[in-house]
């Protein structure tokens, strides 16, 4: 049974060949292959993690955008509301002012009219007084001559005066 | 290695078919790589013979000098049947009788040649693979790399990582080398045409060295706990120190039995596979010799079907044995490196 007794020549060569093979493979094959595999696994893990974080980031951004939009909408509403109140205030202010102005003008006009009227009345009074004096003068001049004529004269003067 | 084909002289063997010899020749080692025989002409690849004898010093020559065992060259010849050293190279003295002391034989035999061939293929294959790996860094693998990567990952994740644990990376080069060395040699052994077909993993010397490597790796990487379990096992005192240290003896024996089992399992499986295939094929010739050519035609159909079946089975066995050897090596290493339990 030759083949169950190990042959030292085969053992020797096997040691040499297998030893060299393991050494070369370890150095030039397994190290790069295992490193490559590990690097790829890490790369995949990293890619997955970064995809996950990107998704998170997207979600966060979307939420942020929504918030910003909401804020902008609220601000717009606010501005609009403010503008409306401002408009209303301006309008009412203007109205008030106009009313006051017109009242003031009216007052002034009334005042003026009153003044004019008073002036006119005073004037009339003065004229009446002057006329009265004049008439009295004329009457006094003529009274002594004829009483009837005197009467007629007064009447005619009064008629002439035509006081409005 | 010289691959010149040498049609040799006519063989003198009797033409009667000897199935036992046929099978043995196919699974045994030889100093030449037999290719085929046409009639009585043997065609084989001559392999280098390297001898050292105390009387004659070093001798290196091609095995074709022996003319298939029929000739004497530089006082050496292959011992014939009937000699106590049949099949081995013996030295002759001046009168032509065999010397009792055999010369040291470090010849490149068929097994060694097959071994060197597959080692070269393995080195080329995996260094090429490593280069591919660096070229495609960061991209998806393709082709051969794609095919072998899952196997490497399998050895790493399901063999090394699960058996050894956290320190598995140190042993990866060894385990991967053992796995692919056994696997590729097993598969090459199934291809019947030279330079394949050498019965490498079915040679006990080869499996012995593989087992020895596992033994040394296990022993050198063994931690304090591992050695403590051998020399001071965790058993009742009366089992450790009666008249003789029984448990220590068992533990030390198991240290050596583990690699021996590895060696025998791989060797026996691969040898048996080769033998069964050749036995089925030799049935054709046995029937031919016994019952004439017609019977052998009928048997040949069956024989070929069975041989194909066994070959396919051997492909499976090749993978299983490579896996089992690597797994058990990993388990032994794991046992030697694991901490307290």
Q: Is residue B146 part of a domain?
A: yes
Whether residues B100 and B181 share a domain: the answer is no
Is there a contact between B198 and B184 (Cβ–Cβ < 8 Å)? no
Q: Is residue A140 part of a domain?
A: yes
Question: Which pLDDT score, from 0 to 100, does residue B3 have?
Answer: 36
8 A C-beta contact, residue B58 and residue B67? no
Q: In terms of domains, do B84 and B151 share one?
A: no
- Out of A12, A32, A43, the one facing B133 most closely (by C-beta) is A32
B189 and B262 share one domain: yes
Could you tell me if residue A46 is inside a domain?
A: yes
Q: Least CB-CB distance to B137: which of A18, A21, A39? A: A39
Nearest in space to B200 (alpha carbons), one of B313, B307, B318: B318
Residue B320 lies in a domain: yes
In a domain, B148, yes or no: yes
**Beta strand B6-7 pairing with B48-53:** unpaired
Whether the CB-CB separation of B28 and B87 falls below 8 Å is answered with: yes
Task: Specify the number of domains making up chain A.
Answer: 1
Test A13 with B119 for CB contact under 8 angstroms.
Answer: no
Q: Considering B105, B120, B145, which residue would you say is the last residue of a domain?
A: B105
Residue-by-residue pLDDT tens, chain B, 341 positions: 333 333 333 333 445 677 788 888 778 888 888 887 777 788 888 888 888 888 778 888 888 888 777 788 877 888 877 777 777 888 887 777 777 778 888 888 888 999 999 999 999 999 999 998 888 877 778 888 889 989 999 999 999 999 988 888 889 999 999 999 999 999 999 888 878 888 889 889 999 999 999 999 999 988 888 888 887 777 777 666 666 677 788 888 999 999 999 999 999 999 998 888 888 888 888 888 888 778 778 888 888 898 899 899 999 999 999 999 999 999 999 988 886 55
User: Where among B76, B105, B134 does a domain terminate?
Assistant: B105
Same domain, B150 and B234: yes
**Pair B239, B146 in one domain:** yes
Q: Whole domain around residue A95: which residue ranges?
A: 7-161
Could you give the CA distance from residue B134 to residue B118 in angstroms, rounded to a whole number? 24
Among residues B70, B105, B140, which one ends one of the domains? B105
Query: Do B184 and B54 fall into the same domain?
Result: no
What sections of chain A are H helices per DSSP? 8-25, 31-142, 147-161
Total domains, chain B? 2
Q: Tell me what pLDDT residue B141 has.
A: 81
In a domain, B1, yes or no: no
Give yes or no: residues B286 and B327 share one domain. yes
Do B295 and B288 touch, CB atoms closer than 8 A?
Answer: yes
What's B158's DSSP letter?
A: I
- Position B269 in a domain: yes
Cis peptide before B195 (omega within 30 of 0): yes
Q: Is the domain of B226 the same as that of B291?
A: yes
Query: Based on the domain organization, do B68 and B186 belong to the same domain?
Result: no
Contacts of A10 in chain B (CB under 8 A): 29, 109, 111-112, 203, 205-206
Q: How far does B106 lie from chain A, in Å, by closest CA?
A: 5
Longest dimension (CA), chain A: 203
Question: Phi, psi (5° rounding) for residue B62?
Answer: -80, 145
Mutate one of B137, B147, B149, B173 to test the A interface: name it (highest A CB count within 10 A). Answer: B173
Regarding whether B115 and B100 lie in a shared domain, the answer is: no
Q: Which residues pair with B77 in a beta bridge?
A: B90
Q: Residue B95 belongs to what domain range?
A: 6-105
Partner residue facing B112 (CB), from A6, A13, A39 = A13
Across the interface, whether the CB atoms of B129 and A5 are under 8 A apart is answered: no
* Residue-by-residue DSSP string for B117-130: HHHHHHHHHHHHHH
List, in sequence order, every residue forming a beta bridge with B36; answer none if it has no partner.
B43
Q: Are residues B12 and B114 in the same domain?
A: no
Is B94 in the same domain as B129?
A: no
Task: Give the residue from A9, A19, A43 with the most B CB atoms within 10 Å of its CB, the best one to mutate.
Answer: A9
CB of A42 within 8 Å of a chain B CB? The answer is no
Summarised one tens digit per residue, pLDDT across range A123-154 is: 888 888 888 888 877 777 766 667 777 777 77
In this complex, do B112 and A9 lie within 8 Å of one another by their Cβ atoms? yes
């Amino acid at each position: 049974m030759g083949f169950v007794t190990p042959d030292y020549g085969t053992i020797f060569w096997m040691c040499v060949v297998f030893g060299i093979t393991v050494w070369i493979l370890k150095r030039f094959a397994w190290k790069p292959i295992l490193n490559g595999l590990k690097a790829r696994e890490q790369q995949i893990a990293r890619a997955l993690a970064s995809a996950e974080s990107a998704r998170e980031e997207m979600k966060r951004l979307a939420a942020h955008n929504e918030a910003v939009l909401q804020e902008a909408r609220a601000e717009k509403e606010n501005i609009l509301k403010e503008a409306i109140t401002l408009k209303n205030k301006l309008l009412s202010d203007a109205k008030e002012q106009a009313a006051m102005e017109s009242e003031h003008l009216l007052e002034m006009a009334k005042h003026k009219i009153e003044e004019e009227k008073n002036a006119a009345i005073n004037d009339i009074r003065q004229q009446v007084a002057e006329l009265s004096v004049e008439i009295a003068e004329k009457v006094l001049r003529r009274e002594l001559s004829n009483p009837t004529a005197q009467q007629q004269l007064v009447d005619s003067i009064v008629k002439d005066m035509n006081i409005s | 290695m010289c691959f010149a084909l040498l049609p040799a002289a006519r063989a003198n063997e009797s033409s009667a078919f000897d199935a036992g010899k046929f099978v043995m020749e196919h699974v045994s080692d030889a100093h030449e790589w037999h290719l085929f025989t046409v009639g009585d002409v043997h065609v084989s690849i001559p392999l280098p013979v390297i001898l050292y004898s105390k009387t004659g010093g070093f001798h290196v020559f091609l095995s074709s000098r022996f003319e298939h065992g029929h000739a004497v060259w530089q006082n050496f010849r292959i011992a014939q049947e009937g000699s106590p050293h049949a099949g081995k190279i013996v030295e002759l003295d001046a009168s032509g009788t065999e010397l009792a002391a055999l010369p040291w034989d470090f010849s490149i035999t068929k097994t060694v040649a097959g071994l060197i061939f597959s080692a070269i293929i393995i080195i080329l294959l995996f260094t090429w693979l490593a280069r591919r790996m660096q070229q495609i860094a960061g991209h998806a693998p393709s082709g051969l790399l794609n095919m072998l990567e899952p196997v490497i990952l399998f050895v790493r994740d399901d063999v090394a990582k699960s058996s050894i644990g956290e320190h598995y990376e140190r042993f990866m080069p060894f385990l991967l080398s053992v796995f692919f060395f056994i696997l590729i040699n097993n598969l090459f052994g199934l291809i019947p045409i030279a330079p394949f077909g050498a019965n490498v993993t079915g040679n006990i010397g080869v499996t012995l060295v593989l087992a020895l490597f596992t033994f040394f790796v296990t022993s050198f990487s063994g931690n304090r706990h591992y050695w403590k379990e051998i020399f001071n096992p965790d058993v009742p005192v009366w089992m450790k120190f009666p008249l003789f240290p029984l448990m220590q003896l068992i533990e030390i024996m198991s240290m050596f039995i583990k690699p021996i089992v590895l060696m025998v399992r791989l060797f026996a499986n691969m040898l048996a596979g080769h033998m069964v295939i050749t036995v089925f094929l030799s049935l054709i010739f046995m029937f031919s010799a016994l019952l004439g050519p017609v019977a052998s035609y009928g048997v040949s159909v069956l024989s070929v079907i069975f041989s194909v079946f066994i070959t396919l089975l051997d492909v499976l066995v090749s993978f299983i044995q490579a896996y089992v050897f690597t797994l058990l090596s990993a388990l032994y290493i794991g046992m030697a490196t694991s901490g307290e339990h």
